[in-house]
Structure 1
């Protein structure tokens, strides 16, 4: 029996119309796939409906993958591929497998010899770097920084030092409701000449992306509260 494939299906970064930021080939893939692995079945179904309104929701099968999913059952999620069915892997926003638990499924697919097919779509991490004007040849993504103040200060200082010593842009993110605290800490702990890009609401109508020195940011901040944001620094 011919195996199915694992399609990595990007999701829009907000409420923008899917076909404004996704290629039509993604719509075609969803129209052919009935088996999905997603962080949240409800939001995944809503996205599929927006992208392909005529698709029969009753035919869809979902496995839920999030931080509460028991790792030992992940291989079972790929059984439809072994039975000849394609599977679509989705995150809540952006590209699955990047800053996303879907990477575990992709690793298991490779182990099982299942073909992995990444589809084109928005990555807030890459889009922020593209728009930053900072080093796109040497960069690192660092996920979330520590929450505790002393640990966060240490992490910020370490990233700045690494950026300076290795000429490397450092990318990271924060939970939206903690953005204001993050920016305050960056201004407080980074050198005034260190460059900081703040990229907010990427691909949405409310998108704001600016790169300034820390000294310039002190008097030029916008409201970041509860808005998805990526940060890029370069010393």
Structure 2
């Protein structure tokens, strides 16, 4: 296996690995001894799930989060520059997609180091697949503004893009604010606009439903504390 920065997807929840990750991923992981991770504890749990016999204490972990300085981040790739493969592990799903791992990938590209993304679950792609919306043109916006006025303005702007650009619009919210998010969508969007709510993707209790704003009124399930992604289309 040639030296590279391997982007290692993890499950989106407590899902059996074999249902969402190829066996090849395990082969790659077991050859890597340097990992850049969002959270060391969850990364260690994931690696133990990959192989119960893995020697965690023999591995080197580098933390990548909002507190990591650019200088620290650049130094993380020294093992790769010395010819040792490294792996990037996020909290859930695919590294570098709506994830701080993108920063270290950018540095690797700038240094002309090999980058290899591996196959795994992405809530963005899977929700588009299950929504029935336009999969040729879509945009993911991450978190919307928290302030009520700004959030309403943003929702209306995204809905307008649906109609002017025929583009699917995706965004997320902190799980404990999901119900408030749906209320804001229903209050600010046109009755005929379609909303897809995709929750617990690939996990037990998976829920992916598409209805018009008018149809959703009075029929929204309790989404508190559940990982969700919201999609708008006409």
TM-score over 0.5 for the pair: yes
> Does residue 1:140 correspond to 2:152, yes or no?
no
Q: Contact (CA 8 Å) 1:33, 1:87: kept in 2 or not?
A: yes
What residue number does 1:178 align with? 177
Q: Which residue of 2 aligns with 1:188?
A: 187
- Secondary structure in structure 2 of the residue aligned to 1:159: helix
Deviation at 1:55, TM superposition (A): 1.1
Equivalent position SS for 1:32: coil
State the partner residue of 2:28. 29
Match of 1:69 in 2: 68
Partners of 2:30 and 2:13 in 1: CA distance:
21
Partner of 1:38: 37
Once residues 186 and 72 of structure 1 are traced to their aligned partners in structure 2, the CA distance between those partners, rounded to angstroms, is 41
2:53 maps to which residue? 54
4+ residue runs of structure 1 moved beyond 6 angstroms? Answer: none
Aligned to 1:118: 117
**Separation in 1, partners of 2:70, 2:171:** 26
| Contact persistence 1:19–1:51 (CA under 8 A) | no
SS in 2 for 1:37: strand
- Which sits farther off after the overlay, 17-26 or 190-199? 17-26
| SS in structure 1 of the partner of residue 53 of structure 2 | coil
CA contact (8 A) 1:22 1:120 kept: yes
What is aligned with 1:15?
A: 14
For 2:194 and 2:148, the matched residues in 1 are separated by 22
Q: In the alignment, what sits opposite 1:204?
A: 203
Query: Whole-Å Cα distance in 2 between the matches of residues 72 and 159 of structure 1?
Result: 36
Which stretch shows the higher mean deviation, 149-158 or 12-21? Answer: 12-21
CA RMSD of aligned residues (A): 1.1
- The count of residues paired between Structure 1 and Structure 2 equals 234
Alpha-carbon distance in structure 1 between the residues aligned to 2:33 and 2:54:
9
User: Secondary structure, in 3 states, of the residue corresponding to 2:105?
Assistant: helix
How far the C-alpha of 1:3 sits from its partner, in A, is 7.4
Residue 87 of structure 1 corresponds to 86
| Conserved 8 A contact 1:3-1:81 | no
Alignment TM-score, normalising by the size of structure 1: 0.98
